[in-house]
Structure 1
Amino acid sequence: MRQIFLDTDTTGLEHKLGHRIIEIGCVEMGNRRLTNRHFHRYLNPERDIDAGAMSVHGISREFLLDKPHFADVAAEFLDFVRGAELVIHNAAFDVGFLNAELALLDMAPVDTVCHAVRDTLRMAKDLHPGKKNNLNALCERYGVNNSHRTLHGALLDAEILAEVYLAMTRGQESLIMDLGDDNASRLKAAGSLPPTGDRKTQHVRRASPEELEVHEKILTTIQEVSKGKCQWLRSDTNG
């Protein structure tokens, strides 16, 4: 699978208010390995940048005056992402801005050009409900080094997101068994096992007496309806 990890920086928070993209950063991954191919452009938005936005990414309008406009790079950008799965943190924000820019050029939305869009913020909320799931929080949770991230930068954030995504989707790490020293060392070298310090204690929640009573009533009902063919009661008897 070809995936593109994407991030943008903008002049403000609402493209519906006329805010524009000022930076696009993309890194390519194939079969869960970075390919070292990337797309990165600063863009002249032809408008002022909100003070709040500038405090986040540190990019000034003066810096962007000699940079290309989105129209100058749109075709090249679409060629880079064409047919790939876009992986974006808070995808609605970036896709909204990209589609607004493309609409100004009478071009098709980006999600009709790429294969699909995956939102890692939604993934993180499903995996870690009730917790902070911004990129910094995920870096801390998964042990991804982001010490060089003092300000937001589209290309840097796309690279960090790729590392976080690999950590979030490495499902086999939750099935750690005693494989012996040789096998464990080989799998760890291949990136299939996390460091020992990353392993978390699994807590087993036992059913309460009330829950067990309800469970027994349900099994009895199933036994009556199935005329004695309740597999769970058979298992309990045989076990």
Structure 2
Amino acid sequence: MRQIVLDTETTGLSADSGDRIIEIGCVELLNRKLTGNNLHFYVNPERDSHEDALKVHGISNEFLRDKPKFGQIADELLDYLRDAELIIHNAPFDISFLNKELDRLGRPPLKTVIGQVIDSLVMAKEMFPGKRNGLDALCDRLGVDNSGRTLHGALLDAELLADVYINMTRGQDALLIEGNESSEAGVETIVIDLSRFELPVLRANEQELQGHDVALADLDKACKGKTLWRKLEAA
């Protein structure tokens, strides 16, 4: 399965109000492994970034003036994304900007090119309800090193999100990279069939059973009635 972790940086917060994409970062996963076949563009938005947006991404208007416009990179981007499953943090934001850019070119929306979209923010809220689920918070919670992230950047954020996504969906400590040049020496995945092992059953001894009864008696007294455990035991 081919998945693309995607992130954008923009001139502001509203595509409908005329804000534009200034950076696109894409990281490819094939069968849940990093391939190194990433894609990255800086884009001339043909307008200046809002002051608040500049504080977030730090990409100056002057730096972007000689970069290609979205129309010049659209074909390469769409070919790269074709039929892939996209993984995006707060997907409606990035999708709305990409669709607006495509609409300006008279192109159909992104859904006509790609497979489905996974919103990792929605996933995180379901896994960690009531907690902060921004990318930095998830990196801290899942042990992903984000020490190099002083400002937002589309490619760096996509790389971090790839690691976060794998951790959220499989509990894997780190991503494996295919290919001799990118992989670290000695990294190997070992699959163990646990059905081959007979696990011993350790039963409570008499002293432990007595201690358990004492604990239940204390609970009975505290809740002024039989505990659920005793009700189930009597049923």
Structure 2: how far apart are the matches of 1:90 and 1:171?
Answer: 21
Q: How does 1:181-192 map to 2 (within 5 A)?
A: 190=189
Identity, % of aligned positions: 57
Per the alignment, residue 49 of structure 1 pairs with: 49
Q: How does 1:1-239 map to 2 (within 5 A)?
A: 1-170=1-170, 190=189, 212=228
Shift of 1:85: 0.3
Say how many residue pairs are matched.
193
Cα distance change, pair 171–155 in 1 and its aligned pair in 2 (3 A): closer
Which residue identity lines up with residue 30 of structure 1 in the other structure?
L
Structure 1: how far apart are the matches of 2:113 and 2:51?
Answer: 33
Structure 1: how far apart are the matches of 2:166 and 2:23?
Answer: 24
8 Å contact kept, 2:7–2:158: yes
8 Å contact kept, 2:85–2:118: yes
Per the alignment, residue 178 of structure 1 pairs with: none
Which residue identity lines up with residue 153 of structure 2 in the other structure?
G
Deviation >2 Å, runs of 4+ = 188-193, 208-213
Taking only aligned residues, the RMSD between alpha carbons, in angstroms, comes to: 2.8
Cα distance change, pair 73–52 in 1 and its aligned pair in 2 (3 A): same
Which residue identity lines up with residue 149 of structure 1 in the other structure?
R
Structure 2: how far apart are the matches of 1:236 and 1:18?
Answer: 68
Larger RCO of the pair (alpha carbons < 8 Å, separation 6+): 2
8 Å contact kept, 1:170–1:192: no
8 Å contact kept, 2:3–2:86: yes
SS in 1 for 2:102: helix
SS in 2 for 1:16: coil
Per the alignment, residue 179 of structure 2 pairs with: none
- 5+ unaligned residues in a row in structure 2: which ranges? 174-186, 193-218
Q: Compare 130-139 and 106-115 and name the one that shifted more.
A: 106-115
Q: Compare 106-115 and 124-133 and name the one that shifted more.
A: 106-115
Q: TM-score, normalised by structure 2?
A: 0.75
Cα distance change, pair 148–172 in 1 and its aligned pair in 2 (3 A): closer
Which residue identity lines up with residue 18 of structure 1 in the other structure?
G
8 Å contact kept, 1:44–1:66: yes
Structure 2: how far apart are the matches of 1:7 and 1:43?
Answer: 13
Q: TM-score, normalised by structure 1?
A: 0.74
Shift of 1:106: 1.0
- 5+ unaligned residues in a row in structure 1: which ranges? 174-187, 194-205, 217-232
